[in-house]
Amino acid sequence: MASQRDPDATAALFQRNRWAFSVGTLGRDMVYALVSLYLIVFLTEVLDASDTFMWWAGWLILAARLFDAVMDVVMGSVVDNTRSRWGHYKPWIAAGAVASAFCTLLLFTDLGLPDGSYVVAFALIYLLWGLTWTMNDIPYWTLLPALSLDQKQRERIGALAKIFSTVGLFSVVVAIIPVTGALGGDTRAWFLFTAVVVAIMLAGQLVTLLGVREPQLAVEQPKVTLRGLWRVVAGNDQLLWTAIAMVLFMTGYVTTTSFGVYFFKYAYRDEGMYTPFGAVLGVAQLTGFLVFPLFRRRFSRRTLYTAATTAVVAGYVLFFFAPMDMLWIGAAGLLLFTGQSFVVVLMLVFLTDCIEYGHWKLGARNAAVTFALQPFINKVGAAVGTQIVSVVLILSGINSAATPDDVSPQGLLMMRIAMLVLPLVLIVAGYLVYRAKYRIDEQFYARIVGELAERGQLTTDQGIADR
C-alpha cells in the first residue's frame, strides 16, 4: 500500500501509471483509425461496392453508431457498478480488447456474398464491433481520471496518451496505402494489414492491464441504477455543454480526415502524395501534443482553446483557396492539425473535470457514466461524418467513377465544400458553445475538490489498491 505521505513512491507510481496507460492507446488508435477512416475506402476502392450497397451500408453504419453511442452511457453504469478484485475497469478492458479485435478482422474480410446478403451481414458485424469496442473504450478512458485528482497531472497523462495515440493513428495513415499496395492491394492484403494492427492493439492493452495500478481517490459510491442514469447525465450541465461542443468539433474533424484519400486521388490526382502528406500532419499533431504542457504553464485553457481554434480556421481557409500545390496544402494542414491537437487535449481534460463537478453538484461520483460521453461524442461525430462522406461520394459521382477524369468539376467542388467548408462551420460553432457555457476554470475546480474533501467524499490519503 503506497500513500501520498510517501512523495517518492507517489511520484514513481504516477510515472508508472502515466506510461502504462499511454502505451495502451497506440494500438487502440491504430484500430480506430483503420475502421473509422478506411473501412469506407475498403468498401469503395477494394471491394468496389455499388452505389446501392454504399447507400444502404452508409445508413446502417449511421444507425449502428448512434445506437452504440447511446449504449456507451449504459456501459458506463455497468463499469461504475463493477466490483472485482481487479477494480472497476480492467475486466472490461481485457474482454473488450479481445472481442473487438475479432470483429475488426471480420470487417476487413471479403465474405463473398451478394449485395443484399452482404449488407445484412456487414451491418451485424459492424454493430457487434461497435458494442465490443464500447466494452473496452468506456473503462479504458475512465481509467484516466481515476489516476489523479490533480488537473496538471491529468493534463500530463492526457498529453502523453495523445502522443501515443497520434503515433498509432498516423502510422496507419502513412502505411496503409503503400503497404497494402505492396501486398497486392486486394482483400487479402487489407486483411493481413488489419491482423498486424490488431496484434499491436492487444499487446498495448496488455501493457496497460499489467502496468497500471489504480489509486483509491474517492469514497466508494452506491451502485447507479438504470433509472438514475438520466439524472447523472442530464443533471450535469457542464457535461452536456462540453458534449455538444465536442460533437460539433469531432463531426467536422472526422468529415475532413475521411475525405483524405479521395481528395488526393480525385482532386489532387496523385494518390501517392497522401502518404507523405499524412506523415507531415502526424508530425504536426505530435508536436502539438509535445508542446502543449509547455504552453499550459503560461496560458489558461481558454486562451489556448481560442488560439487553437484560430489556427484551425486559418488552416481551413488556406486549404480551400490553395492551388494544387503541396507547399500550400501542407502549410494549411500544419495549421489545421497543430490547432486540432490542442483542442483534443483540452476537451479530454474538460470531460475529466466534469466528473468532480457532477460529484459536487449531484452528491454521487459516477466516473464511468460521466466519461462515457467521450466515446459517445467520438461515435456520434464519426457516424455523422462518415455518412456525410458516403452521401457525397454517391452524389458527386466519385464512387461510380472509373478514373479521376470521370468526376465532373461540380462533383469535385461538392467534395471540397463537404471536406472544408462544412467542417469549418461546425468547429467554430463548437468553440462558441464552449465560450458561452463552460465555466469550470482552474479556480472553480480547486473549490470543487476542496468542498468534496470537506464533505468526506474524497479520500485524503489516496491509498493504492493492489490490482
Give Cα 417 to chain centroid, integer Å: 24
* Res 146: pLDDT: 77
Nearest to 390 by CA among 123, 59, 110: 59
Q: Which of 144-153, 186-195, 350-359 has the lowest mean pLDDT?
A: 144-153
Tens of pLDDT, residues 365-409: 776 667 667 777 777 887 788 889 889 999 999 988 888 899 999
Rounded average pLDDT over 209-217: 79
Spatial CB neighbours of 211, under 8 Å, sequence gap ≥ 6:
16, 17, 19, 20, 21, 23
* Confidence label for 249 from pLDDT (cuts 50, 70 and 90): very high
Rounded average pLDDT over 139-160: 81
As a whole number, the mean pLDDT across the chain is: 85
Q: Which of 17-26, 188-197, 218-227, 379-388 has the lowest mean pLDDT?
A: 218-227
178 pLDDT above the threshold of 80: yes
State the Cα–Cα distance between residues 25 and 8, nearest whole angstrom. Answer: 27
* Res 283: pLDDT: 84
Report angle CA 375, 177, 174 to the nearest 5 degrees.
Answer: 60
24 pLDDT above the threshold of 60: yes
* Res 460: pLDDT: 46
Nearest to 154 by CA among 442, 378, 431, 455: 442
* Confidence label for 418 from pLDDT (cuts 50, 70 and 90): very high
125 pLDDT above the threshold of 60: yes
Higher local confidence (pLDDT), 199 or 75: 199
* Res 461: pLDDT: 47
Spatial CB neighbours of 298, under 8 Å, sequence gap ≥ 6:
none
Higher local confidence (pLDDT), 359 or 414: 414
Most confident of 4-13, 17-26, 55-64, 147-156: 17-26
* Res 3: pLDDT: 45
* Res 229: pLDDT: 61
* Confidence label for 221 from pLDDT (cuts 50, 70 and 90): low
Spatial CB neighbours of 184, under 8 Å, sequence gap ≥ 6:
none
Higher local confidence (pLDDT), 297 or 3: 297
Tens of pLDDT, residues 40-97: 889 888 888 788 888 887 788 778 777 877 777 777 777 777 776 777 788 999 999 9
Give Cα 209 to chain centroid, integer Å: 20
Nearest to 47 by CA among 111, 137, 130: 111
Rounded average pLDDT over 16-37: 91
State the Cα–Cα distance between residues 115 and 55, nearest whole angstrom. Answer: 11
Rounded average pLDDT over 119-142: 88
- DSSP β-bridge partners for residue 5: none
* Res 227: pLDDT: 62
271 pLDDT above the threshold of 60: yes
Q: Is 364 exposed, middle or buried (0-12, 13-18, 19+ CB in 10 A)?
A: middle
> Under a CB-based contact definition with an 8 Å cutoff, are residues 134 and 378 in contact?
no
CA atoms within 13 A on the CB side of 392: 25
* Res 230: pLDDT: 67
> Under a CB-based contact definition with an 8 Å cutoff, are residues 129 and 17 in contact?
no
Written out in words, the top-level CATH class of the domain with range 7-455 is mainly alpha
Spatial CB neighbours of 451, under 8 Å, sequence gap ≥ 6:
360
* Confidence label for 466 from pLDDT (cuts 50, 70 and 90): very low
Higher local confidence (pLDDT), 464 or 126: 126
167 pLDDT above the threshold of 60: yes
Spatial CB neighbours of 436, under 8 Å, sequence gap ≥ 6:
none
Spatial CB neighbours of 256, under 8 Å, sequence gap ≥ 6:
336, 419, 420, 423
Rounded average pLDDT over 338-344: 91
- What's the chain look like in SS3? CCCCCCHHHHHHHHHHHHHHHHHHHHHHHHHHHHHHHHHHHHHHHHCCCCHHHHHHHHHHHHHHHHHHHHHHHHHHHHHHHCCCCCCCCHHHHHHHHHHHHHHHHHHCCCCCCCHHHHHHHHHHHHHHHHHHHHHHHHHHHHCCHHHCCCHHHHHHHHHHHHHHHHHHHHHHHHHHHHHHHHCCCCHHHHHHHHHHHHHHHHHHHHHHHHHCCCECCECCCCCCCHHHHHHHHHCCHHHHHHHHHHHHHHHHHHHHHHCHHHHHHHHCCCHHHHHHHHHHHHHHHHHHHHHHHHHHCCCCHHHHHHHHHHHHHHHHHHHHHCCCCHHHHHHHHHHHHHHHHHHHHHHHHHHHHHHHHHHHHHCCCCHHHHHCHHHHHHHHHHHHHHHHHHHHHHHCCCCCCCCHHHCCHHHHHHHHHHHHHHHHHHHHHHHHHHHHHCCCCHHHHHHHHHHHHHHCCECCCCCECCC
Give pTM, 2 decimals: 0.70
* Confidence label for 8 from pLDDT (cuts 50, 70 and 90): confident
